[in-house]
Structure 1
Amino acid sequence: MSELILGIESSCDETGVALVRTRGPGTVPELLSHALYSQIEMHRAYGGVVPELASRDHIRRVLPLTQKVLDDAGCTLAQIDAIAFTRGPGLAGALLVGSGVACAMGAALDKPVLGVHHLEGHLLSPFLSEDPPEFPFVALLVSGGHTQLMRVDGVGRYQILGETIDDAAGEAFDKSAKLMGLPYPGGPELARLAEGGDPEAFKLPRPLLHSGDLDFSFAGLKTAVLTQAKKLGDTLEARKADLAASTQAAIVDVLVKKTLNALKETGMKRVVVAGGVGANRMLREQLNDACRKRGIRVHYPELHLCTDNGAMIAMAAAMRIEAGQQQAEKVYAFDVKPRWPLDAIVQQPVATTTAV
């Protein structure tokens, strides 16, 4: 029997709401509608996300977006079977908005709710694409705050193969962009500038590239960019595109080669790339080319679903429920987990309270 699950994402600076329909065990849930509001313009004046402003804006946006999603899908609140929300990780105040709305809505409608791990949402987001993957696969989870390689054998069946020991790839993009004087959000701005630059103009380090393990480190690269920018001095403006291109090339080189190493170690023939950096054109081109030569399939979320969104939260909830990993409960004491390691949800025991 199919069920409707409403998903709410509010972990940082995007408010996302979506509605998915389950289609039974062994099938991929169907995305019926989704809506997203980005706070980029509001935070640009401050050069980064201001948590208090983010929380207040989520309050303004979440209910109108929910109504839009229901209208687009031709559904009413009464037809929803469960409500999912991002429980963590993220900004505490922002998370509380989504969890508070979800739990209040669930209590009012007498519907169960389910807290979802933000990173699991990203991890499973490629199942929303027109070419969804099949288990098992290697996953490269690469976003502003996280860079991890994982072995994924099924929903909730995850093994971390390697992760960043300092800055994540997204942070390397953003911090390097800030050092170059690029506006917020820095990562996409750096990638756009890099299109007109020479990726071999500057010899920048590839940290841990030959470490023999699958861990990442990008803090040293950021320091090298700072050093190079200072050396350029007054000529930085004229060479900024080259420095951006060289920085991007260093990050992508590490991500691609570490991913290939993970595929070799596991013997997998399928890789999933998820998270905001997964939208990077150079990363997609180089990984696609390398995997094509090795007979490996690569899957991504659709470009508009690479950033934070409600669709990935609703999808993750639906897939956890159908896989028997977790159940939605009529428990409305909304707590959040701003710091929540992804491996903490592996093989999470199923609750015994009222469920979908």
Structure 2
Amino acid sequence: MKQGILSIRVFLKKRSCFWGGVNIFEWQNKVIYSLLKYLSALFLLLFAAGCLEDVPHDNPLDPQNSNRGYTLSGTVNTLYAPVQTISNAIITLEPGNEKVFSRSDGSFLLENLLPGDYTVYCTADGYTRDSLQVTLNANHVVNFFLDGLPYFETISLTTQHLSQFFPVEDLYYLQIEARVNDPDGIADINSVFFDIPEYNVHDTLFVSLEAGTFSRRLSIDDLPVNTIQSLIGRAFILSVLDDAGKTVKSGKRYLTRVIEETPVLNQPVNLQTVPVDSIRFIWQKVRLPYWFNLKIEIFQINQGLLSPVTTIPDIPGATQTLTISNTLPAANYVWILKVTDEFGNSSSSREGTFQVTN
């Protein structure tokens, strides 16, 4: 090809002609030379394209691969049967910090992943975090089964002040109650316990009859203090443990107060006989510098034991008397008046007794 170009150039030089000061044949020589270079380059390009036309592009690193990279897919589920899917869980792939959310059916998909070793993390609100190690050299499927974390629905720390005829000294109690739950069901709850860090106290709450409720009533003898009042301002921390061994702690909780004043009953007292049609309860006015209400509790005396009969709740704090219809059978009865503040702290009067006759 080079020899052909040189021959044309020599020929054109011999037949040069001038027009307007321009050598026409020299100008033609340049045009033809440029055209031949362009055609040569075009020929080489078409030749290369023909050679590479059938090259496969299945390598995940090949940018011309329409299915470039591998996929990582799977589902996020609860741990215990009946297994349920978990939506909106966050699946994170490291290295790379690739993130996706699980769909409404618990499924997820990560695409266009390069081969290599990865750690897959799965997190969801209310569940323990889990992780898996994977090596990608093909499309891969992983499934997560997350343990639901137990949680507190309510926590109550209250004091109880009891005034009674025997023993003469007033009694004070600390009442701790917690209602707990678990995404895997209440049956997954193992235990509930409490700590008073300042006194190095660690103890458990007891299972109540109501499902998911744990409680404990503690007297001074159960605590390393001389008075219940000394616990005011001291932090309590509650913890709930599930069967999978996961523990969730509450924040710091505090007692609010001890109600020192107790109601005083006027009538009926001392086994006074009440009218057959109605009973009128009278007591001294209770004076406290905060909101409270009153409650009457009535018990029947059966061979020296007290059996609950009825309760009259939500009596306004300013009330001093209350009359009810007498529907009680003939027997001897005990009644007490209880003060309760907005936090659930309470104080109770000494016992008043009365009798109902036919």
* TM-score w.r.t. length of structure 2: 0.21
* Bigger-Rg structure (1/2): 2
Higher strand share: 2
Higher helix share: 1
Identify the structure with bigger relative contact order (alpha carbons < 8 Å, sequence gap 6+).
Answer: 1
